[in-house]
Amino acid sequence: MTVPVITIDGPSASGKGTVAALVASRLDFHYLDSGSLYRLLALHGRRHSIAWDDESKLAEAAANLPVEFSDGAVWLEGNDASLDIRAEEIGIGASKVGALPAVRAALLQRQRDFRLAPGLVTDGRDMGSVVFTDAALKIFLTASAEERARRRYKQLIGKGESANLPTIMQDIIDRDARDAARPVAPLRQEPDAFLLDTTELTIDQAVDKVLGWFGERQVSGH
């Protein structure tokens, strides 16, 4: 039996990570936040003085990145990097290193290795289009740029960090354009992916939508 995979792709700050983690919890599936791998690589590059456009060195690092996901935390070189990788600057770095073909190739098999029984829920930008093309269910989860900026602003303020809404909005617009225009694995909705716009939805409503679609797929045998 093929281990079932649910992929949830979408733009930055759309809430796909939160939804994916909750869906995985409800189904008792494994969970992979693919974006964290690119964030970890950007952080690793910053810490080891590797420029975010140095494709060969970053690809080499990606293939050997000492990463571990355990106890609800993300570990890099034996240290908890859960908070460090969520910095806005590292998010921008992740988008830049993720646009490099050699980096994406180096991380491809590492992502596929997370496919373990009884199932996997994963979120990112190319999970359904490239990494798990045979996924049992593909979701393209999005929200308006205004709503995504508002959510990110609220999140940062809630963590006690300074934030500027117009700046966040521009960063999101810039990242959307960069992710959609990159030559390898551009951000796009696949023809066989369900569109889930969460602009007007609560997190619980979005989770229920995904679980409903997955249940229908299981019943129909697709």
Annotated binding-site residue numbers for ATP: 10-18
List the one residue out of 169, 215, 219 whose CA is nearest residue 194. 215
Question: Positive or negative CA dihedral for 75, 80, 86, 89?
Answer: negative
3-state SS assignment for residue 29: coil
List the one residue out of 33, 23, 16 whose CA is nearest residue 136. 23
3-state SS assignment for residue 75: strand
User: Which is it for strands 137-142 and 5-9: parallel, antiparallel or unpaired?
Assistant: parallel
Pair of tokens at residue 207: 């989770």
**Residue 212: how many CB atoms within 10 A of its CB?**
10
Annotated binding site: 10-18
If you count them, how many residues does the chain have? 222
